[in-house]
Copies of this chain bind each other. A is one copy, B any other.
Amino acid sequence: MPQKVRIALDAMGGDVGASVVIHGAAISLSRHPDAEFLLFGDSAQIEAQLAQHPALKAASRVIHTDVTVSNDDKPSQAVRRGRKRSSMWLAIEAVKKGEAGVAISAGNTGALVAMSRLCLRRLPGIDRPALAAVWPTMRGRSVVLDLGATIGGDAHHLVALAVMGSAMASVRFGLERPTVGLLNIGVEEMKGHEEIREAAALLRAMNLPQLDYTGFVEGDGIHKGAADVIVTEGFSGNIALKATEGTARQFAQALRGALTSSWRSRIGYLFARNALGVLRDTMDPGKSNGSVLLGLNGIVVKSHGGTDAEGFANAVHVGYELVRYDLLIKINQMLNRDGGALFPAPAAQEAVS
């Protein structure tokens, strides 16, 4: 019998907190009966929720703390107040100690990134971690990173993102040499910021065995599936992510409006209901909820703060798969080797802002 998959949850993270996290974990347990949970946070709140989910209660251990990272905390504040004490920190630390295979939080992204860096430390050769996610595209799926772990960055940072992203794509999609594109405002060579053009030149010159750099990709190239891996620094990556989510929601709302606008369209809806349910599931951002923090000595998954229980269950699913199939261990091994070779001198300081 395979080992249980042990998952550490920050039960207080997210806009709602324990009710979404515990309900989400319960949904996840029904899909993955071999999962076990470490639940960090206010035990009274957690136990109150667990009372409604006896199966989850049986598969969980509650570790009490009354320190919670707030959505408004700056990363530096969060670290100061929450280090070694907050539900977020303790969940991450469980990964460091080997008590859990993955930590999952829907809390404050900046705090999660800062605490993960501090607790788990970066892999050799990686100057800062990145949030990566798998996006559904018109062609299939692509890895997009950085979705906002850090902002800005020079050409070497973009090259590091390309290496990390292609490692993830090769493992997740079974590709020998994933194609990699750099997000830009045009596909012509002279477009965009200097660091992007410099990264393009570096990637071409390096001609790495593990990735096939194919050029610049515009914002809509992500959705076309222009490359297996789309690389950008965290500011524009976050804008692209949120713009995609916003458009999907706007489209879904408009579709609902259209299908209830007349008796004819309402009849149409009755017939097409099942098919439209599949569509909704395909395009629902919650369904692909769960970004992976790459570049650290351990696995951390970030869920949307505003997600519901179903969405949180998807983030847990991402974490479960990463542990069950040792995906991030493989990725991190590749990075450790190739990343280390690419960037022999690690950055001097952990900068927690």
Chain B residues, Cβ within 8 Å of A72:
188
Asked if residues B269 and A272 are in contact (CB atoms below 8 Å), the reply is yes
For residue A65, CB closer than 8 A to chain B, the reply is no
Residues 262 to 277 of chain A near chain B (Cβ within 8 Å): 262, 264-265, 267-276
Mark contacts of A308-352 with chain B using CB atoms, 8 A cut-off: 1 yes-contact digit, 0 otherwise: 000000000000000000000000000000000000000000000
Give which listed residue, B183, B224, B234, B267, contacts A271 with CB less than 8 A: B267
For residue A243, CB closer than 8 A to chain B, the reply is yes
Chain B residues, Cβ within 8 Å of A136:
250
For residue A28, CB closer than 8 A to chain B, the reply is no
For residue A1, CB closer than 8 A to chain B, the reply is no
Q: How far is the CA of A243 from the CA of B219 in the complex (A)?
A: 5
Q: How far is the CA of A183 from the CA of B238 in the complex (A)?
A: 11
A239-B239, A261-B275 are contacts. A248–B249 as well, Cβ < 8 Å? no
Mark contacts of A229-250 with chain B using CB atoms, 8 A cut-off: 1 yes-contact digit, 0 otherwise: 0001011101111111111111
Asked if residues A279 and B264 are in contact (CB atoms below 8 Å), the reply is no
Residues 105 to 127 of chain A near chain B (Cβ within 8 Å): 109-110
Asked if residues A239 and B236 are in contact (CB atoms below 8 Å), the reply is yes
Give which listed residue, B151, B190, B247, B276, contacts A223 with CB less than 8 A: B247
Interface-lining segment among A51-59, A88-96, A252-260, A289-297:
A252-260
Give which listed residue, B235, B251, B261, contacts A251 with CB less than 8 A: B251
Listed A/B pairs (14) with beta-carbon separation below 8 Å: A137-B250, A185-B234, A185-B242, A219-B239, A219-B243, A247-B247, A250-B283, A251-B251, A258-B272, A259-B272, A264-B272, A265-B274, A267-B271, A268-B272
For residue A148, CB closer than 8 A to chain B, the reply is yes
Nearest chain B residue, comparing its CB with the CB of A265: B275
Mark contacts of A163-192 with chain B using CB atoms, 8 A cut-off: 1 yes-contact digit, 0 otherwise: 000000000000000000001011010111
17 more contacts with CB within 8 A, not counting A185-B238, A218-B242, are: A109-B186, A136-B250, A148-B185, A185-B234, A218-B238, A219-B244, A220-B249, A221-B242, A221-B246, A223-B250, A239-B239, A243-B247, A250-B283, A259-B272, A261-B275, A262-B275, A272-B272
For residue A84, CB closer than 8 A to chain B, the reply is no
Chain B residues, Cβ within 8 Å of A247:
223, 243-244, 247-248, 251
For residue A206, CB closer than 8 A to chain B, the reply is no
